[in-house]
Amino acid sequence: MQEAVHAAVTALIDETGREGLTVPQVAARAGVTPSTIYRRWTDMATLMRDVAQRNLRVDCPLKPCGRLSVDLPAWAEMYQEEMDSTPGRAMMRDVLRGWDGTQKACSLFDAVRPTIVSICDAAGEPVTFDADAVIDAVVAPVLTRILFTDGPLPAALARDAAAAFVARHASGG
């Protein structure tokens, strides 16, 4: 049933957009009664957050070459493009609508950490930092700028941040 409702939400979102979307609409499309949805999710916001979290895998389709000064900026650029895109922003919107201010809005960091770790593992150099440092240095600026500035991000933002990060951890860092 959860499946049918999730599918209905996804279908309705790209047919009519996420703006007018209501619980009764989703229920009708999924072939269930509204009360079923209300009892399981309480809210349209909660339901959309749930759906958004399913589509939360950020893979690394890039083959690391083993040099951090190449691999990390390359990944950063791809990550930024992914998050600053229409679907990326929509995912963040849905996820943040359900945020209650206390617990984490979603496990976004857990989704990127493995990719960062795998890049570091593939590096033919000693790694002097951990994944969370990379998150602070490149993921954080991307996400906050998406939320708190207007218009698309500077194209090189994440790439440059990653390059600078690697540079300062390579030499004297």
Partner DNA sequence: CTGCTAAAGCAAATAATTTGCTTTTAATGA
Partner DNA sequence: TCATTAAAAGCAAATTATTTGCTTTAGCAG
Rounded CA gap, 64 and 135, in Å? 18
Choose between 24 and 173: whose C-beta lies nearer to its own copies: 173
Q: Which amino acid is at 98?
A: G
User: Which option in its own copies, DNA, none does residue 34 bind, with CB closer than 5 to 8 A by kind?
Assistant: DNA
Q: Is 103 exposed, middle or buried (0-12, 13-18, 19+ CB in 10 A)?
A: exposed
Choose between 35 and 55: whose C-beta lies nearer to DNA: 35
Name the residues that contact DNA, by CB under 7 A: 1-2, 22-25, 31-36, 38-40, 42, 44
What's the min distance (Å) between Cβ of 22 and its own copies?
Answer: 14
User: Which option in DNA, its own copies, none does residue 32 bind, with CB closer than 5 to 8 A by kind?
Assistant: DNA
Choose between 61 and 148: whose C-beta lies nearer to its own copies: 148
Choose between 16 and 144: whose C-beta lies nearer to DNA: 16
What's the min distance (Å) between Cβ of 146 and its own copies?
Answer: 9
Q: Which residues contact 144 (CB under 8 A, 6 or more apart)?
A: none
Name the residues that contact its own copies, by CB under 8 A: 89-90, 92-93, 96-97, 99-109, 135-136, 139-141, 143-145, 147-150, 161, 168, 172
What's the min distance (Å) between Cβ of 155 and its own copies?
Answer: 16
Rounded CA gap, 124 and 46, in Å? 44
Choose between 31 and 154: whose C-beta lies nearer to DNA: 31
Q: Which amino acid is at 10?
A: T
Q: Which residues of 68-87 are buried (b: 16+ CB within 10 A; e: fewer)?
A: bbbbbbbbbbbbbeebbeee
How open is the CA angle 119-122-128, to the nearest 5 degrees? Answer: 70
